[in-house]
Structure 1
Amino acid sequence: MRWWDIDPVLELEKVLFPEDAWSRGMFWSELAHARGSGATRRYVVAESADGRIVGYGGLAASGDLGDIQTIAVAGALQGTGLGARLLTELLRAATAFECHEVMLECRVDNIRAQKLYERFGFAPIGFRRGYYQPGNVDALVMRLTTAPDSGSAADSASAQGTEING
């Protein structure tokens, strides 16, 4: 993800997460940590064949812990494997950052996302009550643990007609 992707990402963000959409400033702040030799973030976008952004995702790393910050896929492409491709890219980044655990929060009412994360080996470890505001929706906390010598945290996944860019 680059600075010029922020406006189209914000449009998608507002459609997909109307109650708790990230702000422009939040994306700028994350991108500021994603560049340079001390980078601790990785943000990617998925583009359709005509260049429209149809998905995005982000990972923050600290020490050997990674945290999936966000994954979003345009409604028309949900269920096509694009979310899996985005997650694969984020887990590759976690491996590059030498993360041995990757955490995430997922709305308790987002069963489709939970099933995706479980397919990749994430396991539920707890809840955060009222995490998503202003809707006061609970978050399911999930964790993926990889042994330091087990290689990549990423599985393979595919979706047609999209390109993932950093």
Structure 2
Amino acid sequence: MTGLRSLVEADVPTVAALERELFARSAWTEPMIRDELTAPGRYYVAMTDDEDAVLAYAGSWFDGDVSQVMTLGVASRAQRHGLGRILLRALLDHARGLGASAMFLEVAVDNDAALALYTAEGFEILARRPRYYQPEDVDAWTMRLML
């Protein structure tokens, strides 16, 4: 069984390890994650196991008009259990609660699982961003969901 809660400072080492597992060379570092947790307009949540260990995490940014998915990651051992969908819906609910007009994100063009999640929730592809993911040199789809 898992639970949804806010991501906190004590989670940073676990999230950094998951970032390396999931995103390799483009992973956020511990200082980057700490900065994100305290930056204005940010909202970060985690899905945890029975011992409160982080299995998945997600975050968004709100600029007063639109929201943007900053990150969403699910540990390999916890994938295919719907945790990504729960986290994405938490971000969407939060954005709606703030009065955001839309939610945007960028996702690697070769990330089929993420693309399936986002399109199932109603996101539409707007454009292709060449070489967005560095240093991997991978293109990204820019996507939007009107709220």
Fold equivalence (TM over 0.5):
yes
Q: With structure 1 as the length reference, what TM-score do the two structures score?
A: 0.82
My pick for the range that moved more, 121-130 or 24-33, is 24-33
Measure, in 2, the Cα distance between the counterparts of 1:63 and 1:125: 21
Long gaps (5+) in structure 2: 1-6
Provide the alpha-carbon RMSD of the alignment.
Answer: 1.0
Q: Report percent identity of matched pairs.
A: 36
Long gaps (5+) in structure 1: 34-38, 147-166
The one-letter amino acid paired with 1:63 is: G
Residue aligned with 1:16, SS: helix
In the alignment, structure 1 residue 12 sits paired with structure 2 residue 18: yes
Q: Deviation above 3 Å: which 4+ runs of structure 1?
A: none
Measure, in 2, the Cα distance between the counterparts of 1:19 and 1:126: 24
Residue aligned with 2:119, SS: helix
The residue that corresponds to 1:23 in the other structure is 29
The residue that corresponds to 1:49 in the other structure is 50
The residue that corresponds to 2:119 in the other structure is 118
Give how far 1:50 is off: 2.3
Q: What is the aligned residue count?
A: 141
- The 5-angstrom pairing of residues 27-42 of structure 1 reads 27-33=33-39, 39-42=40-43
